Amino acid sequence: MGETTPHLDALQDIKEMMSRSSRFISLSGWSGISAGVCALIGAWVANSILKDKTGSAGDYLQTESYKVSTEFDLAHIVSKKLFIVAFVTFIVAFMLAFLFTYLRSRKDNFSVWGSTARRLMVNVGLPMIVGGIFILKLLQVDEYGLIAPACLIFYGLALVNASKYTLGEVRYLGYGQILLGLINCWAISYGLYFWAAGFGVLHIIYGALMLWKYER
């Protein structure tokens, strides 16, 4: 029996090298957690803006009510504010996610910008850019209620697409986002809550699981 060990070791080495050379594995669990926390803060700020202006977030998202609610272009001002909140949330979340992943790759002695990282970015990037353009169009035609589900669905698709090029578990995070996005399509007025659940809670759960599994 003892003689099988070197051969099993060799197979193990091969398997590990195949996976390590084709996947970007420095993605840190802290990246997920920090992105989730940013999303929750962003959603909270957005919610208080909506409450300030219209009494409740739900009312605002049912587009008729805000259109008739005021004489001046309140919707425009609010949506501009929300746009800034969304933009800042995205930038901060992205920067923190990058920072933690950068730190981890330094610790593991990997370069953060290798061919595996490039492949990952391209595969995340395509669905995200397509989704972004689609959401801009939704804004243009005042379909605010569909923005949250569209964010969740396109982001989920991006994750599923990217899972071949990084930690395989990303796929399940993607399924979760897609599922939330689809359900949200039939519960439009709760968009912000779905958004917070997907980008906030799911990210934090995913990040914590990855920390526990790979970085203990």
Residues that bind another protein (CB under 8 A): 1, 3-4, 7-8, 10-11, 13-15, 17-18, 20-22, 109-111, 114-115
3-class DSSP assignment, residue 166? strand
Alpha helices, H only, 23-114: 29-54, 57-61, 63-69, 74-107
Nearest to another protein of 51, 118 (CB atom): 118
Give the nearest distance from C-beta 4 to another protein in angstroms.
Answer: 5
Nearest to another protein of 12, 62 (CB atom): 12
Rounded CA-CA distance 64/214 in Å is 49
Nearest to another protein of 1, 68 (CB atom): 1
For 153, the token pair is 């669905």
Nearest to another protein of 25, 88 (CB atom): 25
Give the nearest distance from C-beta 22 to another protein in angstroms.
Answer: 5
Rounded CA-CA distance 165/185 in Å is 29
Give the nearest distance from C-beta 111 to another protein in angstroms.
Answer: 6
Rounded CA-CA distance 145/190 in Å is 9
Give the nearest distance from C-beta 181 to another protein in angstroms.
Answer: 32
Give the nearest distance from C-beta 175 to another protein in angstroms.
Answer: 25
* Torsion over CA: 102, 119, 87, 155 (sign): negative
Nearest to another protein of 3, 64 (CB atom): 3
3-class DSSP assignment, residue 108? coil
